[in-house]
Amino acid sequence: AQSVSQHNHHVILSEAASLELGCNYSYGGTVNLFWYVQYPGQHLQLLLKYFSGDPLVKGIKGFEAEFIKSKFSFNLRKPSVQWSDTAEYFCAVMPGGGADGLTFGKGTHLIIQP
């Protein structure tokens, strides 16, 4: 079975700082990778996803993530964060084909200080 590890449970940054949230997964085959965001009091929203092709994927709100197959990683980045980026961020992995469902990491709570 697959698993997902998010290394940072809590991250505090100042506005305009650069962001990188780590995500590593364990699974031997082809995977689809996702980052979801949950703003305070709201439901989960898809930030970006990787299925195949260019390993650098761009999502909404200026976020991007890079799939590095050799490192089993899918780190989320943003060059300059805003106060409105304060939220919980979840990395998730789904084996290719989706037969085994989606497995989430435990999430990273990001706080942006104005």
List residues near other proteins by CB under 8 A: 32, 34, 36, 43-44, 46, 49, 51, 90, 92, 94, 97-107
User: Cβ of residue 7: shortest distance to other proteins, in angstroms?
Assistant: 13
User: Cβ of residue 101: shortest distance to other proteins, in angstroms?
Assistant: 4
DSSP secondary structure, 41-84, as one string: TS--EEEEEE-SS-SEEE-GGG-EEEEEGGGTEEEEEESS--GG
Q: Which residue, 17 or 100, has its beta carbon nearer to other proteins? A: 100
User: Cβ of residue 107: shortest distance to other proteins, in angstroms?
Assistant: 5
Q: Which residue, 17 or 27, has its beta carbon nearer to other proteins? A: 27
Contact indicator for 67, 43 with CB cutoff of 8 Å: no
User: Cβ of residue 1: shortest distance to other proteins, in angstroms?
Assistant: 8
DSSP 15: T
**Cα 88–chain centre separation:** 10
Q: Which residue, 63 or 105, has its beta carbon nearer to other proteins? A: 105
Query: What are the beta bridge partners of residue 3?
Result: 26
